[in-house]
Amino acid sequence: MPELPEVEAARRAIAENCIGKKIIRSVVADDAKVIDGVSRADFEASLTGKTIVGAHRKGKNMWIELDSPPFPSFQFGMAGAIYIKGVAVTKYKRSAVSDTDEWPSKYSKVFIELDDGLELSFTDKRRFAKVRLLKNPATVAPISELGPDALLEPLTEDELFKALSKKKIAIKALLLDQSFISGVGNWIADEVLYQAKIHPQQSAATIPKEGCAALHKSLKEVIEQAVEVGADSSQYPSNWIFHSREKKPGKAFVDGKTIDFINAGGRTTAYVPELQKLTGDQAVKAAVKPQKKSSNKNNDKAESEGEEIAKPKGGKKTTQSRAKKAPAKRKPDTSDDNDDDEDEKKPATKKKSTGGNKKSTARKKSKESESDDDDVDDNGDEDEVKGKEEVAKKVQTGRPTRKRAK
């Protein structure tokens, strides 16, 4: 998922190559899941003929300032990326488009051609991004709900310590909360906690002042170093946990020490048990009840929902990039881009029965539940049909069907 360094690399590319140039043509995708709250025609009309005068970012959100509002705003989601034809921009691994692919890419959501011939495109393979057209992006959600930017508005060491002392949740979960500090995602959180030698599940309020100082230092250094190299991960220091955090358990090491994987903050978390230990009461409890380990499998929907949390004034948490929950009964999805498959057709409604038919109804629900959950059984659909036919017979006769004794 693009985090602060990746989005900042995109912002800088636009600032260095596009400011002062007029948009002579724009093409917006007909994709209401990504293009949020505005029609394709209105979006294109609002861009064409305008001059780019600035590029801004807060957290993982970026917007392009034009010579008059409204302005296009980009929330990168899982795999959003900016590409400028002929200009090297960091290619986040999940959003990389090959140089041999057609231009603009079939994944392009907003394409812009400038008066000097330069072309840029915002792409999104996974369709978790959000592109909006706003009069003042900084004053409305989701940007208005963000906490201080980790790079542009860093907390002082004392401010961070005071803020942590009021939070009783796990430090990893707190770092991912965009209303606390914006721009920190899963890999940055893992990296700064590793370098500060803090366990990801340690309660924020129990971190001592020296631990807070180490966290403050690592947060500043990790973000600044990543931004300095344009989010090119091949240039990150070799002793960063970043380079091994996606390896399989038992095969992941950093500086000769074993990397373990657990769930913290609702996310797969890489940490080094030898260096990052729970302290205080949490250490005692952990000794009695071993932690559940994560399998380190990528859960894209969880990632999409987990990091983009911002807490508005009303107190309820909102998710900036939330994937829709699937209905209870769905056909298997065979495409990354098709999230709108039709629900399976339900059988015709039968007449209600009385008496001993309650058990058959319960069995019907159980049978359907088992069928829905079985994604690996090749005969799952056939079994479900047979099960429903048997239940239908029970409903019509008003008495349960018994198996003949052998």
Based on the residue annotation, tell me whether 60 is a catalytic residue of this protein.
Answer: yes
Question: Residue 256 CB: number of other CB atoms within 10 A?
Answer: 6
For residue 227, count CB atoms less than 10 angstroms from its CB and return exposed for 0-12, middle for 13-18, buried for 19 or more: middle
For residue 112, count CB atoms less than 10 angstroms from its CB and return exposed for 0-12, middle for 13-18, buried for 19 or more: buried
Which residues are registered as beta bridge partners of 119?
A: 113
The residue from 50, 60, 109, 394 that is catalytic is: 60
Residue pair 126/79 in contact by the 8 Å Cβ criterion: yes
Residues 6+ apart with CB under 8 A from 180: 147, 163, 167, 174
Q: What is the DSSP string of 304-329?
A: HHHS-EE--TTS--EESS-PPPPPSS
Nearest 5°: the CA angle 308, 341, 78 is: 20
Please identify which residue in the block is written with the tokens 């239940």: 391
Residues listed for the chain: 406
Question: Residue 144 CB: number of other CB atoms within 10 A?
Answer: 14
Of the candidates 112, 50, 115, the residue with the CA atom closest to the CA atom of residue 82 = 112
d(CA 258, CA 347): 53
The residue from 2, 72, 137, 142 that is catalytic is: 2
Residues 6+ apart with CB under 8 A from 234: none
DSSP state, residue 333: P
Of the candidates 265, 279, 270, 358, the residue with the CA atom closest to the CA atom of residue 317 = 265
Based on the residue annotation, tell me whether 2 is a catalytic residue of this protein.
Answer: yes
State residue 258 phi and psi, 5-degree precision.
-70, 135
Q: How far is CA 350 from CA 228, 317, 369, 384, 389, in A?
A: 67, 43, 19, 17, 11
The residue from 3, 6, 8, 191 that is catalytic is: 3
Q: How far is CA 385 from CA 167, 341, 379, 390, 392, in A?
A: 52, 20, 10, 9, 10
**Catalytic residue numbers?**
2-3, 60
